[in-house]
A and B are shown apart, each in its own frame.
Chain A
Amino acid sequence: MPKIIIDGKEVECRAGISVLQAALDAGWNIPHYCYHPGLKVVASCRLCLMEMKMPHPQTREPGWAPKLFPACQTPVRKGMEVRFDSDKVRENQKHVMEYYLLDHPLDCPVCDKAGECHLQDYSEQFGNATSRMVEDKHKNPKKDIGSHTLMYSDRCVLCTRCIRFCDEIAGTGELRKVNRGSRNEIDIFPGEPLENELQGNVVDLCPVGSLISKDFQYKQRVWMLNTARSVSPADSRGSTIWIDYNKQGVHRIRSRYNPQVNEWWISDEARFGWKYINSDKRLNTARIRRGVSWEAVGWEELPGILRDRFASADENATAAVLSPMMSCEEAWLLAKFIRQVAPRATLVRGYVPIEGEDKTFPKGFVIKAEKCPNRGGVEQIIAHFGGNSMDFDEFVKAAGAGRFKAAYVVGGYPKEWITEAHARAISKIEILVAHDLFPSLLDQHVAVQIPTASFAEREGSFVNCDGLLQPFERAISPLEGVKADGQFFHELAGEPGLFRAEKFRVSVAGELEMFAKVHVPPDEPKYAH
């Protein structure tokens, strides 16, 4: 751990990083555009320049070198001394910011980046309020460059982060700089759109409002949004995400830094694939079948009804299907409930959706073929509870053979998952409880139907493909008529009080070790981006 001196203060830092990273880690607010810890260093934006102490070439006397150095490109060295708090550095920042604003359209009122734009922030913190530019600015039309992305050339600061992302992380290289000098702009080759499965990341990466997500454009001003720490349910990778939401619901999903899993990136699937939570097809009433019609039941009555029903069935012919879309807490509580009412009940690992094959990108980012977030957690819980267990295919087969009389089946998948063959087999179960997100082929056979809340409406934890247990927060309240699954299972299992995922994890940590090893990724330094 080398120690360096920044602005007269001694700072301990990781070896091998740049001075800029060290300063950001230690809480300095150093303006930077081109530097991104996940991408190669180009040192082209010239905002992070600093003063450095060096030995005088003749006298060997250490002193401040007359020229400025890019902090992003200077590796830390033991005992080095640098400073940002100097007139020379501030002067440079001011001039560079003035250059950046020469052609900038100042269309912040209609720009979606406003409020989280580093051109706005840095102009205020390091720039000038007025421009001396009297010539006309370049004005360009915006460009449609991909299915999710728009490009506003006139807002661009040419940091080339987006280019480096497409080259290094996605490995597809769709974006490039074209033309030169003041006409330099980012572009795609005509007819070769930005279509990699990680394209949404360039919008997160862009320090200004140049790359805009079509999906989020003109939807919300960012200062109207709250944000929740969540984990993407899109695949078993367990990418950590921010859910940006407000009273009107979820508006956007961004990647959340997680050095052990997804680093700074998420797939487009995780970013844009959450719209199903707003679907008007979602189930929103708990109901019981009465002959050919349904009867709605109150959430308070449900636990009693379910207990009675399952108690009346043969305990050897009872099963609970724990979906890998459930959180660990929910799966635990449901397993607990079913074993309370039927100690010999079978625990079934729910249906695991697989789409294609794992896709690995050049620097190691992976999109998993397994499209559920918590197979690992559910399996560990089933193993912990012991007794009878099987996987979903075996369950379907056994149900078809008439092995089960009562079953609690949890779904929660964004896509249709019950096939006709499944439905035919499962329909043999007399007391069938389906807890799902959407109507399915099972509906005509179920005795009790319970709507589930989406991932944004729940809190809990998922165990990803590498066995990391990662907690996620609730962003919004469940759809009207729906109860958060955690709370419901809490009541169902007869636990007292309110369900709080964290408290719950602590309380069962002694029983199942996995709940004690919670992986919470560190936050990025405040001024890093």
Chain B
Amino acid sequence: MSWETIDRTTVAEEKLGPGLSAAAREKIRTFFPRYPSKRAAMLPALHIAQDEIGYCSLRAMRDIAELLEVPPSAVMDVVTFYTQFWTHPRGKKVITVCRSLSCELMGGKEVLAALKEKLGIDEHQTTPDGKYSLVTEECLASCDHGPCMQINEKTHKCVRVEDLDRILSDPDNDKISMPRSDIFDAPQKT
């Protein structure tokens, strides 16, 4: 396909997406004292960006690069390495279905197929109402309860196709009962 050329040297304004708010920048700065270098705050910064914007927009990556004093390409390097970071808008809730061995043996494929049908979307797509995005991932670390899927951060275990309607209609299907670690949310000031 090398007869086609994509121009990477310019980028359309609308492709840049939203940037970081002043509050988000401030929050990122509070992470600096924890690490020996600013660039080490890359992952928390990206999480903050993704929490605020919903994904890691190009503009947010540029903002982070400026804050962390690294070239923007270095931020893009990290974003594209982790599948947890999104580079385009996603639905309110992201359903991640396990496609690894144990789950697949226990019927993961059927669960995925049923989900696709119920939501009317394919992998890496978002429902028109913006409610759900669907992806698959390697092992979700609950192999003993396959098939598994996650809705945002909540893991649903031993999912059967007939459970799906109930799970999807539950407004709290992404709420985790366990509180999130305060290491992430409340950085200590030094």
Contacts and interface: CB of A to CB of B under 8 A. Distances in A.
Contacts of A193: 8-9
Contacts of A189: 58, 61-62, 65, 71-73, 75-76
Interface stretch (A33-41, A175-183, A300-308, A417-425): A175-183
Interface of A: 105, 107, 139-147, 150-152, 154, 172-180, 187-193
Contacts of B74: 173, 176
Pairs A-B, 6 closest by C-beta atoms:
A191-B11, A173-B71, A141-B4, A193-B9, A176-B73, A190-B11
A190 B76 CA distance: 10
A105 to B, nearest CB: 7
B73 A141 contact: no
Interface string B1-21: 111111111110001100000
B35 interface: no
A107 B71 CA distance: 33
A107 B11 contact: no
Contacts of B75: 189
Given A179-B81, A187-B76, A191-B58, 14 more contacts: A105-B2, A140-B1, A143-B5, A143-B7, A172-B71, A180-B81, A189-B61, A189-B62, A190-B10, A190-B11, A190-B15, A190-B58, A191-B8, A192-B72
A180 B77 CA distance: 9
9 contacts: A141-B2, A143-B7, A144-B8, A173-B71, A180-B80, A189-B72, A191-B58, A192-B72, A193-B8
B101 interface: no
B9 A177 contact: no
**Of B8, B76, B80, most A-chain CB atoms within 10 Å:** B8
Given A187-B8, A189-B71, A189-B76, A140 B2 contact: yes
Given A141-B6, A189-B76, A173 B70 contact: yes
B73 A187 contact: yes
A236 B8 CA distance: 35
Contacts of B15: 190
Contact of A145 (B2, B9, B65, B72): B9
Given A173-B70, A190-B58, A192-B73, A139 B8 contact: no
Contacts of A190: 8, 10-11, 15, 58
**Of B11, B75, B77, most A-chain CB atoms within 10 Å:** B77
Interface string B76-88: 1100110000000
Nearest to B13: A191
A178 B76 contact: yes
A150 B75 CA distance: 22
Given A144-B8, A145-B9, A178-B80, A154 B2 contact: yes
A141 B71 CA distance: 24
**Of B2, B11, B74, B75, most A-chain CB atoms within 10 Å:** B2
B76 A142 contact: no
Contact of B73 (A151, A154, A175, A179): A175
Contacts of A175: 73
A178 B6 CA distance: 16
Contacts of B6: 141-144
Nearest to B77: A176
A192 B71 contact: yes
Contacts of B5: 141-144, 150
Contacts of A152: 2
A143 to B, nearest CB: 5
Nearest to B82: A180
Nearest to A193: B9
B159 to A, nearest CB: 27
Contacts of A142: 2, 4-6
A505 B154 CA distance: 81
Nearest to B15: A190
A141 to B, nearest CB: 4
Nearest to A180: B81
Contacts of A191: 8-11, 16, 58
A340 B16 CA distance: 71
A152 B5 CA distance: 9
A150 B11 CA distance: 17
Contacts of A192: 71-73
Contact of A107 (B2, B65, B81): B2
A309 B105 CA distance: 100
Contacts of A180: 80-81
A178 B81 CA distance: 7
A179 B71 CA distance: 17
A150 B5 CA distance: 9
A173 B1 contact: no
A154 B74 CA distance: 21
Contacts of A146: 9
A178 B71 CA distance: 14
Nearest to B61: A189
Nearest to A140: B1
B118 to A, nearest CB: 29
Contacts of B73: 173-176, 187-189, 192
Nearest to A110: B2
A178 B79 CA distance: 8
Contacts of B62: 189
Contact of A178 (B2, B7, B65, B77): B77
B7 A144 contact: yes
Contacts of B72: 189, 192
